[in-house]
Amino acid sequence: MRIALRDIRKEYGKVNANDGIDLEISEGSIHGILGENGAGKSTLMKVLAGYTVKTSGTILLNGRPVVYDRPSQATRMGIGMLYQDPLDFPPLTILENFRMGLDCGIVSREEAYRQRLREMADHFGFHLDPESAVQRLTVGERQQLELVRLLALGVEVLILDEPTTGISSLQKQALFRALRKLAEEGKTILLVSHKLEDVEALCDRITVLRRGKVEGDMGLPFESGKLLAWMFGNELPPPPCFERRTEKGVVTLAMDGVSASGGRAGLMPCRLAVRRGEVVGLAGLEGSGQGLFLRLAAGLEKPETGKIKVAEEDMTGKDHHAYRARRVTFLPAGRLEEGLMPGLTITEHFALQQEQGMMIHWPKARERAEQGIERFRIRGTPLSAAESLSGGNQQRLLLALLPTNPLLLLLEHPTRGLDMDSVQWVWGKLMAYAVEGTSIVFSSAELDEIFQMAGRVLVFFNGVVVKDVRTCDTTMEELAKAIAGKG
Amino acid sequence: MRLFTENSLPRELFTRGFFIAGGAFCLTSLVLLVAGAPPWPAFYHLFVGALGSWSKLAQVLMVWIPLTLCACGLLYSFRIGLWNIGVEGQVVAGAIASTAVLRFGLESGSPSLMIVMAFAGGMLGGSLWAILAGFLKTRGGVNEIFGGLGLNFVAQGITLWLIFGPWKRPGVGSMSGTELFPESLWLPTILSARLSPAGLVLTVLALVVAAWVLNRTRLGLALKGIGSNPRAAYLHGLNPNAYFVIAMGLAGGCAGLAGAFQVAGVYHRLIPVISSNYGYLALLVVMLASYRVWGSPWIAFFFACLNVGSIQLPIVLKLDSSLSGIIQGALVLTTLLVYALRK
């Protein structure tokens, strides 16, 4: 089936997840959709699969415009999606899952379905025992089951969302073999991924999305450099490198062989030191270990091995409040989910910062809120609830709540989702701290931002710090390669 | 789950109240019609049964006191986002503790001191019982709903064991409870109507304290902050686990006072159903009051009227007194419905 997407838009509040996307996918091809986290790939695929209702735009199947707003309708038209977490019923057996959505009527035709499941599994070289329970399967096997189930439903277009996450390399080979076979049989395959090597290995054509828009489109043979540049953006030439004054010898954060599990990749033993006034950017695909690194440095996660020192003091195993007492502050990416307290007003947030005393001095809290609003140009009043503020203003409020004179600032995606004005403003404030001697460590999906703001960059890949260089001594291309694990 | 926002407009609240009352009225009338009873006389007798005379009003207030005390306690635990289902057991624990104090003071020379001590003991007992549920949550990872519910059964079991065991009446234990205390150990009442002014003062005091703590103190703001987002509150330097236990302690203290009142002011002995289910009822009261301090006493008063008024129904209309339960249930259902629909 031939698919054409015309000017697809999807807005979540003020955020444009898909901002006018045009896409053509030809029959019998394997088409890769590449992009960083938050580029809009998943949203676009969910729109195509009928899981999400688009704000505007047209979908054409074989040149004919179609309208649907439910996954079941999409399936009837021949579009099926294999989600990152397979949508199956773990307590049921493989056969029962397989029959889900296929079976209707009163008469049980179990034998017929068992036969069909066997045939299809054999066809693709999958080993699926009809009687075993799905909860005992690996993600890869559940994926295989979901694949044959969708095909049995008569799907002509198959969308796969990050299918290679969490499966073994053998399963990956089996999956890729099956997908090639399907393409030869005339099925259309859409592969969504942020892993360049997977997409390059399998696809006939690649479209790169960035910030909700199509950034570029390429047929075989692929040029990795160009694809990476599209993914991470290179509108701005790397700014002239500037040497930031860092005082040698004064170490604010030291990690010695620190490792931890958790997140998607965990963190392999890492050893490094951050100095006073240094600004360090953490680059890498989402979930490669940057988040865990920041949380370890803040005392929010405990290391499994190694030692963490803050200003020469051993802090290993202490909780965040001990770090806080040593002026280490962490600003999470989820501003409303983890940073602020919805339902509490700006004044109440400031009141909680008041150090001691049983009573709250409301006039004083209000005064501090007013000062914060003015100094940090928050668009809101002392009585505005945190959740009523826009993302940019929530970040400003978090910055306004920072203790004076922090030693170490740890920031998770400090400018994610902010408009340009807020981004510049936030960095203005942060740089003022750095000049005063605060060490700043931040993660970002934007290489531009890291180049512009950081004096040093750490690149994470699969939980390993694969690169630790001064931004002056590297290039955008080199970093992009390291991020994709090709460094 | 937060059903109600703090800052709903008064007009919106009024509209909702109107729909809730109307909905509950229709639903209850429907139940009455199905049961073959005329709705109007039923509501009329309910009203007269509750507020028809001064002595009826006094009876209502004697129900209102423990119910409002429980509601006061729940305000603390709801503020931090805990579902303190264990409030029922905390009432019972308070009742047991105050019975113990009064038994100890049977021979005492100053009975009024013993009554004060009984209330202090009740508060302590309820508080400790709640702190137990709090520790189960923070140290053992047991959800406060399950921990509280479990402890409710334990408290009930201990009550029965005491009544039929160590504290049984001379001769033989019975379901009617322990031996009645001498009148000197009863909470003083005025009128022949048995209304306790001390109980009223205590309850109003508990309300004032709750309003003060929740709205004016650092503790109250910390409870609200943690209730809104424990993870953010932790990043802002608050320790959610410590405050969970504190909130439970405060909630249990109030519930314990209700238990002490049931023993010293109402039954003058320990009986198997000493809590009269006021703890569970108070959960509904606080929810219907949108978790507001000054909404709670009015809802509690209304519920107390229903409880007392329905006593008349079997006598006058040959209706079961469970009608009050139906009205209360209908109110809660329509409230949930109205808030869901108007979201």
Instruction: Tell me, yes or no, whether A241 lies in a domain.
Output: no
Q: Specify whether A9 is located in the same domain as A127.
A: yes
B184 shares contact with chain A (CB less than 8 Å): no
Q: Which residues of B touch A320 (CB under 8 A)?
A: 234-235
Average pLDDT over residues A359-368: 88
Measure the CA–CA gap between A54 and A48, rounded to whole angstroms.
9
Q: Which residues of A touch B239 (CB under 8 A)?
A: 321
Higher pLDDT, residue B343 or A145: A145
pLDDT at residue A132, as a whole number = 84
Q: Which residues of B touch A295 (CB under 8 A)?
A: none
**For chain B, how are helix, strand and coil distributed in percent, rounded to 5?**
75, 0, 25
Residue A15 pLDDT exceeds 80: no
Instruction: Tell me, yes or no, whether A334 lies in a domain.
Output: no
Residue B5 pLDDT exceeds 80: no
How far apart are the CA of B232 and the nearest CA of chain A, in angstroms?
5
A211 three-class SS: coil
Q: Specify whether A225 is located in the same domain as A261.
A: no
Among A110-114, A232-236, A303-307, B91-95, the least confident range: A232-236
Instruction: Tell me, yes or no, whether A459 lies in a domain.
Output: yes
The shortest CB-CB distance from A343 to any of B6, B234, B236 is to: B6
Higher pLDDT, residue A390 or A310: A310
Q: Specify whether A156 is located in the same domain as A56.
A: yes
Residue A113 pLDDT grade (very low, low, confident, very high; cuts 50, 70, 90): confident
Instruction: Tell me, yes or no, whether A124 lies in a domain.
Output: yes
How would you classify residue A269: left for phi > 0, otherwise alpha for psi between -120 and 50, otherwise beta? beta
Among A230-234, A340-344, B15-19, B185-189, the least confident range: A230-234
Chain B, window 214-233: residues with a beta carbon less than 8 angstroms from a chain A beta carbon: 216-219, 221-222, 224-225, 228-229, 231-233
Domain boundary (A232, A266, A298) is at A232
Chain B, window 105-144: residues with a beta carbon less than 8 angstroms from a chain A beta carbon: none
Average pLDDT over residues A91-109: 78
Structural domain tally of chain A?
2
Residue B139 pLDDT exceeds 90: yes
pLDDT at residue B7, as a whole number = 47
CB–CB contact B225 A352 (8 Å): yes
How far apart are the CA of B225 and the nearest CA of chain A, in angstroms?
6
CB–CB contact A352 B222 (8 Å): yes
DSSP B11-43: HHHHHHHHHHHHHHHHHHHHHHHHTT--HHHHH
Average pLDDT of chain A, as a whole number:
84
Residue B193 pLDDT exceeds 80: no
Q: Specify whether A213 is located in the same domain as A291.
A: no
Average pLDDT over residues B300-306: 92
Domain boundary (A199, A232, A265) is at A232
pLDDT at residue A37, as a whole number = 67
Domain boundary (A181, A199, A232) is at A232
- What are the strands of the beta sheet with A279-283, ordered from one edge? A328-331, A408-412, A439-443, A279-283, A456-461, A464-470
pLDDT at residue A174, as a whole number = 86
Cis ω for the linkage preceding A221 (within 30 of 0):
yes
Q: Specify whether A53 is located in the same domain as A168.
A: yes
Q: Specify whether A225 is located in the same domain as A255.
A: no
Residue A485 pLDDT exceeds 60: yes
Residue A195 pLDDT grade (very low, low, confident, very high; cuts 50, 70, 90): confident
Q: Specify whether A218 is located in the same domain as A288.
A: no
B227 three-class SS: helix
Q: Specify whether A37 is located in the same domain as A103.
A: yes
Q: Specify whether A172 is located in the same domain as A297.
A: no
pLDDT at residue B8, as a whole number = 52
Q: Specify whether A14 is located in the same domain as A126.
A: yes
Among A241-250, A370-379, A460-469, B87-96, the least confident range: A241-250
Distance of CA A290 to the CA centre of its chain: 11
Per residue in B248-301, pLDDT (tens digit) is: 999 999 999 999 999 999 999 999 999 999 999 999 999 888 889 999 999 999
Per residue in A122-138, pLDDT (tens digit) is: 888 888 888 888 887 77
Q: Which residues of B touch A321 (CB under 8 A)?
A: 237, 239
CB–CB contact B225 A330 (8 Å): no
CATH number at A478 reads 3.40.50.300
Among A164-178, A326-340, B111-125, the least confident range: A164-178
Provide the domain limits for residue A29. 3-232
Measure the CA–CA gap between B274 and B264, rounded to whole angstroms.
11
| Interface confidence (ipTM) of the complex | 0.85
